[in-house]
Structure formats: C-alpha cells, structure tokens
Amino acid sequence: MDLTVLGCHGPYPPAGGACSGYLIREEGMSLLLDCGNGVLSRLQQYLDFRDLDAVLLSHLHPDHYSDLMIMRYGLVMARNSGWRNDPLKIYAPPEPEAEYERLPYKEVYSVEPIGPDQVLQIGPFAIETGAVVHAVPGVCLRIRSASGTLVYSGDTEYFHGLEMFAAGADLFLCEANFQEMDIVNNLANHTSASQAARVATAAEVKRLLLTHHHPDRDREVSRAEAEKYYPAVEMATEGETYVIGT
C-alpha cells in the first residue's frame, strides 16, 4: 500500500502548502483520505482525479473537505464528455447536517454516511472506523490491505482507546496540531506531538508519521517533543510517498 501526502497542514496552509489530503493506492485502486484546500491541485500530479475510486472524509471541517466543492465542476465536465459516467463515492460523517447536505452535486457524487464502529470494504481495502473527540463528529480509520495496515487518526484530541485502535499498525498517521504548551493551556480538539508519540509507543506501531502541522508552530519543536517518546518519529511532508508494509 502506498500513501502519498498531498496536504498535511491545518487549519490553514502555509504559503505553497495544502490542507489535509492523502492518496492511498494498492492494486490499481485509488482512495483519497480527506480533500482539504489545495489537495485537488496536488492530486493531479499523481493521478487524474476523474479516475479516483472513492473518497473517505474523516470529518466535515473545511480543511478536510473543501476541495470537493471544486472537484465537482471537473466531474460534471467529465460526465458530459463521457470520460466518467459513474458517480464518485464519498464516505462522510453525516454531521454537521448542513455541511453533509452540501456534498451531493448534480449526481456526480454518491454520498454515503459513516460513523464509528463500522466496517467497509473498498476494493482491496478493509476499513474499520473508530470514534474520535473533536469539535464535530468524525472518525479515525484503520485501513488494512494484503500488504499492511495504515491507521489514520483524523482530527481528534487524545482519548483513552486510541492506543488500542492504532495497535500494531505498520504506519500510524497521527495528527499533531498541538505542542506541549497547547495542552498546558488546555486547548481542546487536537493532539500534541508528544501525545501522539506516547500513543505510538504504547500501540507498538512500526512507524509514526505526524501530520496536520500547524503553520504557526515550529515543526522542529513538535519533532523534538515527539522524539522523547518515539525516537524514530517522521514528519509528514507534502509530495512524499510512504510505502506501508510489504
């Protein structure tokens, strides 16, 4: 399984960067995890967006889905020209309702609700969802294929049980929007780099890839805070492809 980081920032990108978006590929199937602003442009460096098989949204914050509001124009043109006739499948939490209802567009998307504790099979990917603690309902994702297991935290603050959900992952893609100072200051809704690293160690994951970098926070500080608990920590980098498992 290949994971290509298209965008790894939030809640807004730095100059030249993009918000959350990860392209997962295996056996000719292409799955997009989240589709924040800047992701559609980046995606096309690797794949024609009209050939995507499905999109999975961790939650309905615009930094995780806003480029779907743009991709739909291209998909209408693709349908009109005969390039693509079937709608693109979008899996998303059904709340906030107003956001969810904005997703369908001229039948180019087929939108299906997902929640915690579900099991999905999308081509070669066996997917389990888990609950998160965030400002809006969302899910974390455990994606298994014949070659390995990817766990994606989505957006969440630390909660007891994340270790269990991530247990033994070949790669744990975990948000680290916060630093220790933010936790001391009682900020909610996101995980710090050191919390992510402690989860990774407890869960005995094979690789930890920190993401959802905050443009106002020094990435090297986040790395140093995480390295205290998980020395081999990696920082998600846009344009990089990570091979998961064998």
Closest-CA residue to 212 (of 195, 236, 186): 236
The span of 58-66, 75-83, 171-179, 219-227 binding Zn ion (CB under 5 A) equals 58-66
Closest separation between CB of residue 183 and Zn ion, Å? 17
Closest separation between CB of residue 154 and Zn ion, Å? 8
The position carrying tokens 């914050």 is: 61
- Tell me the backbone φ, ψ of residue 71, rounded to 5 degrees: -55, -30
Give yes or no for residue 99 binding Zn ion (CB under 5 A): no
Size of the site for Zn ion (CB under 5 A): 2
Closest separation between CB of residue 52 and Zn ion, Å? 22
User: Which letter does DSSP use for residue 51 in this model?
Assistant: G
CA distance 238 to 246: 22
Residue in 7, 8, 36, 61 binding Zn ion, rule: CB under 5 A: 61
Give yes or no for residue 155 binding Zn ion (CB under 5 A): yes
Closest separation between CB of residue 135 and Zn ion, Å? 6
The span of 29-37, 97-105, 121-129, 153-161 binding Zn ion (CB under 5 A) equals 153-161
Q: Which two tokens stand for residue 134?
A: 């965030």
The residues near 216 (Cβ < 8 Å, ≥ 6 apart) are none
Total residues found in the chain within this entry: 246
Nearer Cβ to Zn ion (29/69): 69
Closest separation between CB of residue 122 and Zn ion, Å? 23
Give yes or no for residue 9 binding Zn ion (CB under 5 A): no
User: How large is the angle between the packed helices 219-227 and 193-202, nearest 10 degrees?
Assistant: 30
Q: Residues 172, 203: contact at Cβ < 8 Å?
A: yes
Nearer Cβ to Zn ion (84/134): 134
What ranges in 81-218 are assigned the alpha helix state H? 97-102, 162-166, 180-184, 193-202
Nearer Cβ to Zn ion (155/225): 155
For the chain, state the CA radius of gyration: 17
Nearer Cβ to Zn ion (9/61): 61
Closest separation between CB of residue 141 and Zn ion, Å? 14
Question: Which residues make up the interface to Zn ion (CB under 5 A)?
Answer: 61, 155
